[in-house]
């Protein structure tokens, strides 16, 4: 297919595709799907080999957010039966992080619900970053706390944070339909503040909220212009008790086409499969590893994810390898250009979790992701095309509970 050959050539040269080419990827047929995955996989392997970076979410503060993001289970007015608790203490957060690191994660994403941090909150998170880094040599830490005020990104950087996540989530043209308590421009401003402070910027999107192909291309092109090191791609999990509870718009094939489009537009950045991969990609998750080079391990912010052991087996069975702590995630040209944080550049949190402070995606992987629905696997599969509500489970273990985390 001439389109795919052109996109591969452009991806290897880091050349921006045209909007028409990006839209054409989303419009390809299921018959052409494997050809699309193969083409985007060539670009992924050129820049990242067969490495898969593992990230682990720690929900520092869950629920009771004053923002009205429609996708989020922690939003104002949400009736979702999620865990609600105030700030974890630094040692509690460090213990939670240790579980993910033991499972192979090299980055810990610290997420807190709310519009944005107060200066006291920045102090709390700074103490938590110190505790995690004191006990885990070489770990990367990404913060996801919502909208930042002047000087807060610099303080987080001084405290040892490597990255900051704040997702754009959807296109500027449709943003007001999803959230009214802050603006698209507020989100852009926070990503720019992180960049300016020397943090590795992480910003992504949520697919499946009823947006058009044009909206998806718009937000991905906006992300390319912002030039984050990491782009988390979240797939909406319609959580009961939220305004988007009935928006079951995604199929595994649609998700793969979206990931391929993101890879073609952002060829040399860390593309992360964030919240919702278990619910929407389901048995086709291994194919998505040919497109993305990063995933979250275990559970998400307010929902359960695939068992950490199953994640590791999936990576190995698909012929990929877990990225080691000493390996640099981003291609050399991005690191030397100052686009990351030295050897740790390119992490980026990423999910669209709802709780990630005013703006990340709903429950999923925090720091940017949406619910990673707990693939419990006990209910019979729904008929083709039917909503897979059986794959969504509220997190009841890990941070904020007395039960061991899934990692």
176-197 residue pLDDT tens = 999 999 999 999 999 999 999 9
Binding site feature residues: 65, 69, 72, 109, 142, 202, 272
Instruction: List the one residue out of 53, 146, 160 whose CA is nearest residue 107.
Output: 53
Q: How many domains does the chain have?
A: 1
Binding site feature residues for [4Fe-4S] cluster: 65, 69, 72
The three-class DSSP label of residue 206 is strand
Q: In which domain, by residue range, is 222 found?
A: 2-391
What is the reported pTM? 0.90
How far is residue 291's CA from residue 320's CA, in Å, rounded to a whole number?
A: 12
Q: What is the mean pLDDT of residues 21-34?
A: 98
| 231 bridge partner residues | 271
Strands (E), 113-246: 140-144, 163-165, 200-202, 205-207, 230-235
Band (10; pLDDT cuts 50, 70, 90): very high
Strands (E), 93-199: 107-112, 140-144, 163-165
Percentage of the chain surpassing pLDDT 90?
Answer: 69
Q: For residue 206, what are the contacts with CB-CB under 8 A and spacing of at least 6? A: 71, 167, 169, 170, 234, 235, 236, 352, 361, 362, 370
* CB of 209 closer than 8 Å to CB of 71: yes
**Domain for residue 58, yes or no?**
yes
**Domain for residue 368, yes or no?**
yes
How far is residue 405's CA from residue 320's CA, in Å, rounded to a whole number?
A: 25
Is residue 347 pLDDT above 50, yes or no? no
Q: For residue 181, how many other CB atoms are within 10 A of its CB? A: 14
Q: What is the mean pLDDT of residues 394-405?
A: 82
Q: What is the mean pLDDT of residues 223-231?
A: 98
**Domain for residue 405, yes or no?**
no
**Domain for residue 401, yes or no?**
no
**Domain for residue 146, yes or no?**
yes
Maximum CA pair distance of the chain?
56
CA 327 to the chain's CA centroid: 20
Number of residues that this document lists for the chain: 407
Least confident of 226-235, 290-299, 331-340, 349-358: 349-358
Catalytic machinery residues: 65, 69, 72, 109, 142, 202, 272
**Domain for residue 396, yes or no?**
no
Q: For residue 386, what are the contacts with CB-CB under 8 A and spacing of at least 6? A: none
Q: Quick one: tokens of 301?
A: 């912010």
Q: What is the mean pLDDT of residues 263-270?
A: 98
The pLDDT tens digits for 64-79 are: 888 888 888 777 777 7
The pLDDT tens digits for 357-393 are: 443 444 443 343 333 334 444 445 666 678 898 888 7
Q: Quick one: tokens of 377?
A: 């696997």
Is residue 241 pLDDT above 90, yes or no? no
**Domain for residue 278, yes or no?**
yes
Q: Is 66 exposed, middle or buried (0-12, 13-18, 19+ CB in 10 A)?
A: exposed
Residue 338's pLDDT is what? 59
* CB of 71 closer than 8 Å to CB of 244: yes
Binding site feature residues for [2Fe-2S] cluster: 109, 142, 202, 272
How far is residue 203's CA from residue 225's CA, in Å, rounded to a whole number?
A: 11
The pLDDT tens digits for 86-137 are: 899 999 999 999 999 999 999 999 999 889 999 999 999 999 999 999 999 8
CATH number at residue 366: 3.20.20.70
**Domain for residue 400, yes or no?**
no
Instruction: List the one residue out of 74, 73, 67, 15 whose CA is nearest residue 43.
Output: 15
Beta strand pairing call for 163-165 and 230-235: unpaired
Instruction: List the one residue out of 235, 276, 308, 291 whose CA is nearest residue 391.
Output: 276
Band (356; pLDDT cuts 50, 70, 90): very low
Q: What is the mean pLDDT of residues 246-273?
A: 97
How far is residue 223's CA from residue 204's CA, in Å, rounded to a whole number?
A: 7
How far is residue 193's CA from residue 116's CA, in Å, rounded to a whole number?
A: 13
């Amino acid at each position: 297919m001439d389109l795919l050959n052109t996109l591969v050539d452009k991806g290897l040269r880091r050349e921006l595709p045209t909007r028409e080419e990006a839209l054409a990827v989303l419009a390809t047929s299921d018959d052409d799907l494997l050809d699309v995955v193969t083409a985007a996989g060539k670009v992924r392997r050129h820049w990242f080999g067969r490495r898969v970076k593992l990230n682990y979410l720690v929900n520092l503060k869950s629920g009771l957010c004053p923002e009205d993001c429609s996708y989020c289970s922690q939003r104002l007015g949400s009736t979702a039966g999620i865990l609600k608790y105030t700030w974890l203490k630094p040692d509690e957060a460090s213990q939670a992080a240790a579980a993910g690191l033991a499972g192979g994660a090299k980055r810990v994403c610290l997420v807190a619900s709310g519009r944005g941090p107060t200066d006291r909150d920045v102090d709390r998170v700074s103490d938590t970053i110190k505790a995690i880094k004191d006990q885990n040599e070489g770990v990367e830490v990404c913060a996801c706390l919502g909208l930042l005020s002047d000087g807060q990104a610099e303080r987080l950087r001084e405290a040892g944070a490597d990255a900051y996540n704040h997702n754009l989530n959807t296109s500027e043209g449709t943003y007001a339909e999803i959230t009214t308590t802050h603006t698209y421009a507020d989100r852009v401003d926070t990503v720019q503040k992180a960049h300016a402070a020397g943090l590795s910027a992480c910003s992504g999107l949520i697919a499946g909220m009823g947006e058009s192909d044009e909206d998806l291309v718009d937000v991905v092109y906006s992300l390319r212009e912002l030039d984050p090191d990491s782009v988390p791609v979240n797939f909406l999990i319609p959580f009961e008790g939220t305004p988007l509870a009935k928006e079951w718009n995604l199929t595994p094939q649609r998700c793969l086409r979206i990931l391929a489009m993101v890879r073609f537009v952002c060829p040399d950045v860390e593309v992360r499969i964030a919240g919702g991969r278990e619910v929407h990609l389901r048995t086709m998750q291994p194919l998505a590893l040919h497109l993305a080079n990063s995933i979250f391990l275990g559970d998400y912010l307010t929902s359960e994810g695939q068992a950490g052991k199953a994640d590791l087996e999936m990576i190995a069975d698909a012929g990929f390898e877990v990225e080691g702590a000493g390996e640099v995630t981003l291609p050399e040209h991005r690191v030397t250009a100052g686009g990351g944080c030295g050897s740790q550049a390119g992490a980026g949190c990423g999910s669209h979790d709802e709780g990630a402070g005013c703006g990340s995606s709903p429950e999923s992987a925090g720091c940017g992701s949406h619910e990673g629905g707990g693939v419990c696997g006990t209910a019979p599969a729904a008929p083709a095309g039917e909503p897979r509500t059986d794959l969504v489970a509220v997190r009841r273990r890990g941070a904020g509970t007395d039960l061991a985390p899934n990692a």
